[in-house]
Structure 1
Amino acid sequence: MTAVIQTSHAPTRSERLKDAGGVAFVALVLGIPMIGLTTVDAGGMLEVRTRWAALGLFILLAFLGRLLFSALGDQLRARQRTKARLGSAPASGSRPVLLKALGWGLLGLSLALPIFWGDNRYVIDTATTVLIYIMLGWGLNVVVGLAGLLDLGYVAFYAVGAYSYALLSTQFGWGFWEALPVAGGAAAAFGLLLGWPTLRLRGDYLAIVTLGFGEIIRIILVNWTDLSGGPNGISSIPRPTFFGLPFKPPSDDGPATFAGFFGLEYVPEQRVVFLYCLILALALLTNLFVSRMRKLPIGRAWEAMREDEIACKALGMNVTNVKLSAFALGAMLGGFAGVFFAARQGFISPESFVFSESAIILAIVVLGGMGSQLGVVLASLVLVLIPEVGRDFAEYRMLIFGAAMILIMVWKPGGLLSHREPTLKAPSSFIRQSKREAA
């Protein structure tokens, strides 16, 4: 019995041109206010000037780009139909090896970064920012990627961790390492507070509630001035020290410093490199923790609930505890990242915890491939470094950022790294026996 697979006909040349023309028209509508018109200072007055050449180039690139994507898409679909007819699947035995090699290569690069570029503050600061978003992405990956719960208010836990450390350090004199577990516990408590009333919600409804929770936290921080300082924020937050040794110029009367204790010449880059090493250690511990949790029964329960919550309930699984554990652990990791952010900046305000931060963190998880630890790393590199590269094109920075996200989703709809290793693997003896029975 032969199965017949019906496929849609390939678009004709006129259909492709019509489609590309529609994309060019959209580019024209969007490009007129963004590219075609600009304002300049003309003797104290704003004067509107036109840039029709740049607008025309933008429209032409949109038209040709759409034609190119259509041609590539047709080739990809034809290749998939051919593989489906032949009944062959691409070999993926070497893929885990390549992914492991890529992961170890990125780890080696991160360890070598302060050695070869330690005197370049811009590179170290950018790498520190990337690691903060990697840590946040791994925390949200527990909720979204593993448990399958859509969270649009993750920045709230980030803010809780940051403000917890800021208040404990400025009001009670706590150090970084003393406040770190307490701030993480406070963020986990807020995760439980969010998770409890949303247990029966799924999909879009859960996303709306979590979005509202993030905005509630931000509005409280703005208006509760006695606690949070309101829009003025909290300043003079102590920086982390190296076992009590601050990164300051040595002095005869003051306490011992890092440079004075080790007999080094003080340079400001010492503190920057130390902060980088600190967030690298926290990120690696986060990765180790999440990877270990995936192999435990609670991690398997997260992934089972993500695949089919109704089946989990039918099997007698306590879905309530599974959801609450995902919210609590993901929030705790976000709180740890918030503590480091406050310690690094020395000043925080509610403007640092707006919805756009939650959107960027969620984009990192989705673009990287939900549930993939290495995918979060790759997506963080892409989404953080693209705006940095676009600094030379300040007017088109966000346009480049948005176009890159669209290209990624067109090229890899499942994320940069949609493949992830299974939590459980069948024994090799069982696999060999299955192959013999199938033969």
Structure 2
Amino acid sequence: MSVAAPALTPSTASPATPVLAALKDAALVALIAMILAGPIVGLQTYDSGGQLSLNMRFSEVAIGIVVVFFGRLGLALAERGLQPAAFGVGALLIVAGIALPWPTGLLQVLAIAAGVGLVLRGLVSVYGARRHKAALAAAVAESDDEKSERLRRLITRGLGFLLLAAAVLLPMMPFANSYIMDTAIRVLTYMMLAWGLNIVVGLAGLLDLGYVAFYAVGAYTYAILSKEHGFDFWEALPISGMLAASFGIMLGFPVLRLRGDYLAIVTLGFGEIIRIVLLNWASFSGGPNGIGSIPRLTFFGHPFVRNPPEGVTAFHQLFGLDFSPLHRSIFFFYLILVLALVVNVFTIRIRRLPVGRAWEALREDEIACRALGINPTNTKLTAFAIGAMFAGFAGSFFATTQSFVSPESFTFLESAMILAIVVLGGMGSQLGVAMAAILVIGLTEAFRSLAEYRMLVFGLGMVLIMVWRPRGLLSHRDPTIFINRRKGARA
């Protein structure tokens, strides 16, 4: 009579088993990366005196594969519950990315990003485990679940304050230069646009693919008012917002009966109509040449120039500073930061008002919304108008920073980029949209040196986020109204 060998259980399995499985997983992923990246990245064609030549970059491919191996190893270890080892791999990648010499800055950024990602994933896993334990304990004591919810809110608010502090201190950092400041201004502009679109898409549930049209209306309004009628920025800013809001109402009326894909098609057509009108109405908008020499914003009448006109005090003379072209970028940065924060605070506050609750009711079920006595027509129009107004503000700021506007700056790709930020951040989540704006614009700028792979990496990053976080970076959002068993209903 033969006796079968006992099967390995979690209590009797060797500790090395999950480590070996993680190593095999990492090796397989590295092999796939080598097969894919070898011919695409390792072989680069270039023009050499009219002849097509081949440049070998296999050393960079090898280093990239090593980064992929260790990155996947850390993920595999974390998936198998070996959090300390995953933290160690992440820390190793961060230290290697900072301390070691790298052939290209891109590989160094990838190594540091992979290490930071592993550390953050470990923190999320630890936090998730704590929430799971709290949920189990909540069956016995409800107060533990309240503590877990309070901890989650504390972490979210702490992250928001951390991002705000980093933004305020960025111009004071020693590495802050014109390129970094211009990139930060671009990030905050898209963040402001995404927060405006978040009202329409995230709160009211209306898919808008022509949001860039309101952006264009605000930019051209400021360009024409400032150049032809002598308006300054602060005089033209509210007019740009109100005119863009009126265009939002114009869009809202024809599409009140449409939903879903049909609404998306109509809004897409509206955005293209605005762009084509600007492209062909040359006497009004300059046509394809656009409008140039738009007056730049000054510091309350003090220009950012080295040699101001006679009788005019420049910005650096006003404060007794040496002239620096960075002064204008810093002023623009803080201005768009204030405008974006105003949009954020306004959105948070209006969500608690009856109109904000009506948006959420409309998003969940329009038929139930009608049954509750809410007017869907007015609700949709307010969402379109307020979202368009914020886009008009951003367009006015864009015109004064660039000193030039043309229809090429307001294509469908811009609408798609703004919508991608809203979806990736988590529809309805203000902090998630801010993080997504930093990630999306940061990715496009980080891979600017690799022009042929820039959009490939950008698309890959979006796919990975959708795989790991299908509902967005911060999918959880506190409800506007919730019921507490002990304290009763509150808003």
Indicate the TM-score class for this superposition, using the shorter chain for normalisation.
0.7 to 0.9
Instruction: In structure 1, give the amino acid aligned to 2:478.
Output: E
Per-residue CA deviations over 1:98-140 (Å, capped at 9, x if unaligned) read 0001111111111111222585222211111111011001000
**Retained in 2: the 8 A contact 1:117–1:124?**
no
Q: Is 2:161 the counterpart of 1:104?
A: yes
Q: Is 2:344 the counterpart of 1:338?
A: no
Q: Of 301, 309, 313, which aligns to 1:256?
A: 313
**Retained in 1: the 8 A contact 2:295–2:400?**
yes
Specify the alignment match of 1:436 in structure 2: none
SS in 1 for 2:155: helix
1:278 CA drift (Å) = 0.5
61-70 or 336-345, which deviates more: 61-70
Residue pairs, 1:293-372, within 5 angstroms:
293-372=350-429
**Retained in 1: the 8 A contact 2:170–2:176?**
no
1:92 CA drift (Å) = 3.5
Residue pairs, 1:198-209, within 5 angstroms:
198-209=255-266
Q: Is 2:142 the counterpart of 1:142?
A: no
Q: Is 2:291 the counterpart of 1:234?
A: yes
Q: Of 471, 475, 486, which aligns to 1:418?
A: 475
Query: Which structure's relative contact order is higher, taking Cα pairs within 8 Å and 6+ residues apart?
Result: 1
**Retained in 1: the 8 A contact 2:38–2:61?**
no
Instruction: In structure 1, give the amino acid aligned to 2:261.
Output: D
1:361 CA drift (Å) = 0.5
**Retained in 2: the 8 A contact 1:293–1:299?**
yes
CA RMSD in angstroms comes to 3.4
- Distance in 2 (CA, whole Å) between partners of 1:67 and 1:96 is 31
**Retained in 2: the 8 A contact 1:250–1:266?**
no
Q: Is 2:50 the counterpart of 1:44?
A: yes
**Retained in 2: the 8 A contact 1:35–1:54?**
no
Residue pairs, 1:67-86, within 5 angstroms:
none
Q: Of 279, 303, 306, which aligns to 1:222?
A: 279
Instruction: In structure 2, give the amino acid aligned to 1:288.
Output: V
134-143 or 221-230, which deviates more: 221-230
**Retained in 2: the 8 A contact 1:250–1:256?**
no
Per-residue CA deviations over 1:311-335 (Å, capped at 9, x if unaligned) read 0011221000000000000000011
What count of residue pairs does the alignment treat as equivalent? 406
In the alignment, structure 2 segments of 5+ residues that lack a partner are 1-20, 82-124, 139-144
Q: Of 182, 193, 215, which aligns to 1:158?
A: 215
* Alpha-carbon spacing, 1:422–1:248, altered in 2? closer, same or farther (3 Å): same
Specify the alignment match of 1:3 in structure 2: none
SS in 1 for 2:249: helix
Q: TM-score, normalised by structure 2?
A: 0.74
- Distance in 1 (CA, whole Å) between partners of 2:72 and 2:280 is 48
* Alpha-carbon spacing, 1:234–1:54, altered in 2? closer, same or farther (3 Å): farther
Q: TM-score, normalised by structure 1?
A: 0.82
* Alpha-carbon spacing, 1:52–1:392, altered in 2? closer, same or farther (3 Å): closer
Specify the alignment match of 1:10 in structure 2: none
**Retained in 2: the 8 A contact 1:118–1:273?**
no
- Distance in 2 (CA, whole Å) between partners of 1:177 and 1:282 is 12
1:246 CA drift (Å) = 1.4
- Distance in 1 (CA, whole Å) between partners of 2:377 and 2:487 is 34
374-383 or 423-432, which deviates more: 423-432
1:239 CA drift (Å) = 1.2
Instruction: In structure 2, give the amino acid aligned to 1:352.
Output: S
- Distance in 1 (CA, whole Å) between partners of 2:263 and 2:53 is 45
- Distance in 2 (CA, whole Å) between partners of 1:403 and 1:296 is 39
- Distance in 1 (CA, whole Å) between partners of 2:74 and 2:281 is 54
- Distance in 1 (CA, whole Å) between partners of 2:137 and 2:413 is 43
- Distance in 2 (CA, whole Å) between partners of 1:53 and 1:105 is 40
**Retained in 2: the 8 A contact 1:222–1:350?**
yes
Per-residue CA deviations over 1:65-122 (Å, capped at 9, x if unaligned) read 999999999999xx99xx8xx9788844311110001111111111111222585222
**Retained in 2: the 8 A contact 1:137–1:365?**
yes
Specify the alignment match of 1:284 in structure 2: 341
Q: Is 2:302 the counterpart of 1:245?
A: yes
396-405 or 296-305, which deviates more: 396-405
1:392 CA drift (Å) = 3.9
Q: Of 238, 246, 250, which aligns to 1:181?
A: 238
1:64 CA drift (Å) = 12
- Distance in 2 (CA, whole Å) between partners of 1:159 and 1:269 is 27
1:243 CA drift (Å) = 1.5
Q: Identity of counterpart residues, as a percentage?
A: 55
SS in 2 for 1:426: strand
1:422 CA drift (Å) = 1.8
- Distance in 2 (CA, whole Å) between partners of 1:377 and 1:99 is 12
Instruction: In structure 2, give the amino acid aligned to 1:217.
Output: I
- Distance in 2 (CA, whole Å) between partners of 1:154 and 1:396 is 28
* Alpha-carbon spacing, 1:117–1:180, altered in 2? closer, same or farther (3 Å): farther
**Retained in 2: the 8 A contact 1:161–1:187?**
yes
Specify the alignment match of 1:172 in structure 2: 229
In the alignment, structure 1 segments of 5+ residues that lack a partner are 1-12, 433-439
Specify the alignment match of 1:125 in structure 2: 182
